[in-house]
Amino acid sequence: MFVLVTNLCLMGCNKDNTQVIEGELQAHFSNFENEAAAHGIDLDISTLDISGYIQNIETIGTLGQCKSYSDGSQQVIVDEQYWNRISDEEREYLVFHELGHCILKREHNDNKDENGNCISIMQSGTNGCKSEYSNENRTQLLNELFIN
Ligand SMILES: [Zn+2]
């Protein structure tokens, strides 16, 4: 598995942070930065103490996690089995959801429109709204995610 390691220690830095963003997560982290920029949010993930891992998640039904630690560091973890069987669009949805928690500090939003579709990528996955993600509603969902 390809691992990109970036040393984060910049000028005046006294903490030896090492950022790890595993394999195919990197492209989605970069897209998240690009979409943030397109929505007027200046974001450089390489300056944040956040890593991304593709791992087996033991908790049944949990497909991704944003973990925040007391030292301020954060980890996005996506379930490896799930990751390996989903499309690129579904991967983006999952990564953007977790980065929504970690970086944008968003909480879950299970509101739905009149057709029962989730109006937010930040839906919990447990409240029965339909979470379709397509070229048709991607723009709308990204506006909700970054502007909300
Ligand atoms: Zn969530």
Number of separate domains in the chain: 1
CA dist 44 and 11 (Å) reads: 16
Centre of ligand 1 to C-alpha 124, Å, is 5
Residue 39 structural domain: 3-146
What pLDDT was estimated at residue 26?
Answer: 97
What pLDDT was estimated at residue 70?
Answer: 94
What is the average pLDDT value for the chain, to the nearest integer? 89
Centre of ligand 1 to C-alpha 125, Å, is 8
pLDDT tens, residue by residue, 57-66: 999 889 999 9
Phi, psi of 143 (to 5 degrees): -60, -45
The pTM score is 0.87
pLDDT at 123 over 80: yes
Going by the DSSP 8-state scheme, the letter that residue 23 receives in this structure is T
Centre of ligand 1 to C-alpha 14, Å, is 32
CA atoms within 13 A on the CB side of 73: 11
Going by the DSSP 8-state scheme, the letter that residue 119 receives in this structure is S
CA dist 127 and 52 (Å) reads: 26
CATH number of the domain bearing residue 12: 3.40.390.10
Contact 9, 19 (CB under 8 A): no
Contact 76, 99 (CB under 8 A): yes
Phi, psi of 65 (to 5 degrees): -145, 150
Centre of ligand 1 to C-alpha 62, Å, is 9
Q: Which residues contact 100 (CB under 8 A, 6 or more apart)?
A: 106, 121, 122, 145
